[in-house]
Amino acid sequence: MLPRFKKLINTKNIIEVGGDTAEEPLSPVARLFHGKGLNCPIMYALGSKTLIDVDAVKSGLIHTFLKHPRFSSLLVTDEKNGGQMSWRRTKVDIHKHIYTPEMDPNMESPDMYVEDYISNLTSTGLDLAKPLWELHVLNVKTSDANATALLKLHHSIGDGTSFISLLLASSRKASDLESMPSLPKTRRSTNLRNNRIGFWGLIFTTSTIILTVFNTFLDILHLSATFFFLKDTDTPIKGVPENVALSRKRIVHRIVSLHDIELVKHAMNTTVNDVLLGITMAALSRYLNGKYAPISDGSEKGQDTTSKKFNHLPPNIRLRSAFAVNIRSPPGISSLAGMMEKGSKVKWGNRFSFVLVPITIALLDDPLDYVRKAKAIVDRKKLSFEAIFYYFLGRVLLNLFGLEITSAGLYKIISKTTMLFSNIVGPQEEISFYGHHLSYIAPSVYGHPHALTTHWQSYGEKMILVLTIDPDVIPDYNNLCVDFESSLKLIKDAVTQN
């Protein structure tokens, strides 16, 4: 464990912190996460390479996470004032937030035990009588870790970028416990930053502005059409929204090589995000082709779900993803104190929006075409203010019409899409969290009307794929995981053979 935490473990007066009764209104986006059909908790699975020292974790949380107002505040609702919601600072008893269930060290399947435990957590809410977070420590060895910590918190506390910033500000490099982790440098798009001068520079800038305005206009029309009538095709991965939002989920992860993804990225001159979206398109095409195959067809058993010879996909499948977009400037890692100061470059909270992204469902001859199609879609979305428009539209509607109407409208749009896609950038190197070397970081979210949510989380030399599944809609979710792994291999092999 880290020395600065060790000496505090047995100090009784560190258990309760806070006490300031000042209230702070919830941000507009935070309020939306308490709307009907959008009440979304976040689950972070943190795999540890060693057994977890619970006392060290408690001490570490007190001196990092609990110093942040969101982790030491109650959610209060003023019914006399139109249901206005606020954060109220309170004293926190750390013992009431940490759970350490007793486990049989000789259990038959530790991996299934952890998966079942996570699934059970998705069927229970967070206690409103205390700050909206809890940590479950499972000291049992699984395939990917020697112990697992499950951090469950409400999305109104903050988004994935906020949490990753706080996690890394509270950690150190596993290889150097005196140094803070670092995020990969974000490559700025060069489309708008070419060193063009003179007449042609003016033409380029003008055409880019016109194209951006035009794309934004089309995206707003697309949003309007989705609100009124446009919905995705009913496929084996699209559930009934009102059933899916409240159902118990299965959350599973797979660890793949970040080097394989970067190999494709450099070979095709794309971004990591393009590659991940391309893999997702390929995997869903492969999976759905198998689901549509007749029982007697060999492709149902996975013999060949990529060849057009065994193409069972219906024509013109409309399948879209709500694609989460961070609207901050690239964050970097600041100190914990710096994150909480006004004017900090790392903005806490829910500062993200989404765009509607079409997912290509087809059997393509060249696996690299999935990445090319993904890149074309993402490049077009970059030349649009769609995400910014949605973000501010939600704020305006919330102020004009209130939570109930605004959340119902947003739910109506999201429920007509099939899935959610998110990609969060993690540290370049593996980290030590309160003295525990983490083997993986696996984020997920649930409570929204999708039967499938795809999260990608980079971590050192790994990329973690996390699928949040409604098992009533997708009972063979492990097959879907295999399709993701197989699709990455096909795309990587296609690059190396060219």
Q: What percent of the chain has pLDDT over 70?
A: 86
**Count of C-beta atoms within a 10 Å radius of residue 133:** 21
Most confident range (mean pLDDT) of 113-122, 289-298, 350-359 is 113-122
Helix axes 258-268, 477-497, angle to 10 degrees: 50
Question: Is residue 122's pLDDT more than 50?
Answer: yes
Q: Which two tokens stand for residue 234?
A: 């009913």
Q: With bands split at pLDDT 50, 70 and 90, how would you rate the model's confidence at 242?
A: confident
CA dihedral sign of residues 344, 346, 348, 353: positive
Tell me the mean pLDDT in the region 338-358.
Answer: 72
| Residue whose C-alpha is closest to residue 131's, from 220, 207, 64, 69 | 69
β-strand pairing of 320-326 with 352-358: antiparallel
**What pLDDT is recorded for position 179?**
87
**What pLDDT is recorded for position 300?**
45
Q: Is 19 left (phi over 0), alpha (psi -120 to 50) or beta?
A: left
| Better-predicted residue by pLDDT, 103 or 96 | 96
Strand (E) positions, 176-335? 250-257, 320-326
Q: Report the half-sphere exposure of 439 (CA within 13 A, side-chain side).
A: 19
Dump pLDDT digits (tens) for 246-297. 899 999 999 999 999 999 999 999 999 999 999 999 999 999 999 998 875 4
Q: Which residue has the tokens 């600072």?
A: 89
Tell me the mean pLDDT in the region 143-163.
Answer: 93
| Residue whose C-alpha is closest to residue 292's, from 323, 273, 313, 272 | 313
Report the alpha-carbon distance of residue 323 to residue 414 in Å, rounded. 11
Q: Which residues are registered as beta bridge partners of 463?
A: 256, 458
Dump pLDDT digits (tens) for 7-26. 333 334 334 444 445 688 89
β-strand pairing of 452-459 with 419-424: parallel
Tell me the mean pLDDT in the region 301-306.
Answer: 52
363 touches 92 (CB < 8 A): no
Strand (E) positions, 359-498? 419-424, 431-433, 436-445, 452-459, 462-469
Report the alpha-carbon distance of residue 47 to residue 464 in Å, rounded. 12
Q: What is the mean pLDDT of the chain?
A: 87
182 touches 428 (CB < 8 A): yes
| Residue whose C-alpha is closest to residue 264's, from 88, 493, 42 | 493
Tell me the mean pLDDT in the region 447-454.
Answer: 95
Question: Is residue 152's pLDDT more than 50?
Answer: yes
Q: With bands split at pLDDT 50, 70 and 90, how would you rate the model's confidence at 186?
A: low
Active-site position among 97, 136, 155, 448:
155
Q: Which residues are registered as beta bridge partners of 86?
A: 25, 76
Q: With bands split at pLDDT 50, 70 and 90, how would you rate the model's confidence at 103?
A: confident
Question: What is the signed CA dihedral for 168, 170, 176, 177, rounded to 10 degrees?
Answer: -170
312 counts as catalytic: no
Amino acid identity, position 273: N
Cα distances (Å, whole numbers) of residue 321 to 86, 242, 472: 32, 18, 20
Dump pLDDT digits (tens) for 376-415. 999 999 999 999 999 999 889 988 998 899 999 999 999 9
Report the alpha-carbon distance of residue 207 to residue 184 in Å, rounded. 32
Cα distances (Å, whole numbers) of residue 183 to 48, 375, 428: 20, 23, 6
Report the alpha-carbon distance of residue 115 to residue 135 in Å, rounded. 16
**Count of C-beta atoms within a 10 Å radius of residue 105:** 8
Strand (E) positions, 332-403? 352-358
> Order of strands, edge to edge, in the sheet holding 73-78?
23-25, 84-89, 73-78
Amino acid identity, position 37: G
Dump pLDDT digits (tens) for 196-208. 567 777 888 888 9
Q: What percent of the chain has pLDDT over 90?
A: 66
Report the alpha-carbon distance of residue 453 to residue 446 in Å, rounded. 8
3-state class of 138 per DSSP? Answer: strand
Question: What is the signed CA dihedral for 477, 483, 149, 19, rounded to 10 degrees?
Answer: -80
**What pLDDT is recorded for position 182?**
82
**What pLDDT is recorded for position 343?**
52
| Better-predicted residue by pLDDT, 51 or 310 | 51
